[in-house]
C-alpha cells in the first residue's frame, strides 16, 4: 500500500508492503513530516528556526532544536566545513533535517512492527526489508540530463540512498539554486549508506566538494557513491559495484 503527499514542497511517498496495513499509520507518518516542516522551515515566519534567526534567546530554544544544531555542527566538522548551515548570520538546518526526518519516519513504521517499506522524500529514500514481490528493493538513479531516464539500478535491503545535485535541461546545464553561476564539474552525486540520515548529509557535503566529493565518500567506511560528471560520465566508489543490480 502506497500513499503520496506533498509536504515541504516535495512529494513524499510511503509504501508499506502487505494488504493489512492500518491506514492510520500513513497519517502518523505524514503528520510527522508536517510537524518537522512547521518547526524547521526558514520560510515560515512562525517556525522555531525563523524565531531563532530573528533573535529568540537561547534559553527558549527547544531541546530538539538544540540537538539538531549540535548535529549540524558535528556534520560540519566531519565534512571539513563543507556542510555549513550558517549563511549571512542566519541558520538553515534543512539540509540535515530532511534526512533526519525520513530516518525518524522510518522509525515510526518500525515501532509499529512494519519491516518491509520505503519512505521517499523528494528522491531521498530509506528502504527496509523487501518489496511486494518479496525481493530486495530496486532503486533507480535518475539521469540528471534527462529526468525520464534511469541510468543505474541498485539493489537495496535496509539502506538509505540520497542524491544531491543540479538539474539539467537540454544543452543548458545550470544550478537552479544559483542560475547565474557557472556550474561545477559535477552534476549530481548519489550516496548509499546504512541509513538515510547519514547518506543524505554526506551526499550534501560531497556535492559541495565538487569532483573531490567522491573521494570523500570513498574514505567513509560503509558508504558508497556514484558521481555524475558534467561530461556525462560517472565516477563510482570502489564498493559501489556491489549494489548494482544485475540486468534481468
Partner 1 sequence: MKYNTRKFLLSGLVVLTFIAYSYQQRHDDESAKVVAPTSQATSSSVNPASTQSSNGSAASSGMHGMMSAAYKDGSYVGNAADAFYGYIQVKAVIQNGAITDVQFLQHPNDHSTSIEINNQAMPYLKQEAIKAQSSQVDIVSGATDTSYAFIESLKTALNKART
Q: Which of residues 20-59 bind partner 1 (CB under 8 A)?
A: 41-43
Binding mask 214-243 for partner 1 (x = CB under 8 A): xx--x---------x---xxxxxxx-xx--
What is the SS3 assignment for 105?
helix
For position 8 contacting partner 1 by CB under 8 A, the verdict is yes
Binding mask 101-130 for partner 1 (x = CB under 8 A): -----------------x-x-xxxx-x---
Smallest gap from Cβ 227 to partner 1, in A, equals: 9
Q: In what order do the strands lie in the sheet with 10-16?
A: 2-7, 10-16, 117-121, 124-128, 160-165, 186-193, 224-229
d(CA 122, CA 201): 15
For position 178 contacting partner 1 by CB under 8 A, the verdict is yes
d(CA 108, CA 177): 32
Nearest residue to 225 via CA among 238, 236, 210, 241:
236
Residue of 56, 151, 183, 220 that binds partner 1 (CB under 8 A): 151
For position 141 contacting partner 1 by CB under 8 A, the verdict is yes
β pairing state of 160-165 and 186-193: antiparallel
Smallest gap from Cβ 69 to partner 1, in A, equals: 15
Smallest gap from Cβ 237 to partner 1, in A, equals: 6
Amino acid at each position: 500500500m502506497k500513499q503520496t503527499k506533498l509536504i515541504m514542497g516535495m512529494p513524499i511517498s510511503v509504501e508499506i508492503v502487505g494488504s493489512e496495513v492500518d491506514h492510520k499509520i500513513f497519517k502518523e507518518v505524514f503528520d510527522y513530516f508536517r510537524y518537522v516542516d512547521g518547526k524547521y522551515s526558514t520560510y515560515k515566519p512562525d517556525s522555531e528556526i525563523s524565531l531563532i534567526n530573528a533573535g529568540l534567546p537561547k534559553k527558549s530554544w527547544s531541546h530538539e532544536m538544540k540537538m539538531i544544531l549540535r548535529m549540524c555542527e558535528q556534520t560540519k566538522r566531519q565534512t571539513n566545513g563543507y556542510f555549513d548551515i550558517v549563511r549571512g548570520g542566519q541558520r538553515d538546518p534543512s539540509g540535515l533535517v530532511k534526512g533526519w526526518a525520513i530516518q525518524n519516519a522510518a522509525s515510526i513504521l518500525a515501532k509499529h512492527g512494519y519491516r518491509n517499506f520505503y519512505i521517499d522524500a523528494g528522491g531521498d529514500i530509506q528502504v527496509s526489508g523487501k518489496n511486494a514481490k518479496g525481493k530486495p528493493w530496486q532503486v533507480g538513479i535518475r539521469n540528471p540530463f534527462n529526468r525520464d531516464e534511469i541510468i543505474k539500478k541498485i539493489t537495496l535491503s535496509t539502506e538509505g540512498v540520497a542524491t544531491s545535485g543540479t538539474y539539467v535541461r537540454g544543452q543548458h546545464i545550470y544550478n537552479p539554486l544559483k542560475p547565474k553561476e557557472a556550474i561545477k564539474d559535477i552534476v549530481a552525486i548519489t550516496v548509499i549508506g546504512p541509513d538515510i540520515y547519514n547518506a543524505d548529509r554526506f551526499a550534501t557535503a560531497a556535492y559541495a566538494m565538487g569532483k573531490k566529493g567522491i573521494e570523500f565518500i570513498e574514505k567513509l567506511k560503509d558508504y558508497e557513491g556514484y558521481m555524475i560528471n558534467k561530461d556525462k560520465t560517472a565516477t563510482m566508489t570502489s564498493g559501489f559495484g556491489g549494489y548494482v543490480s544485475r540486468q534481468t
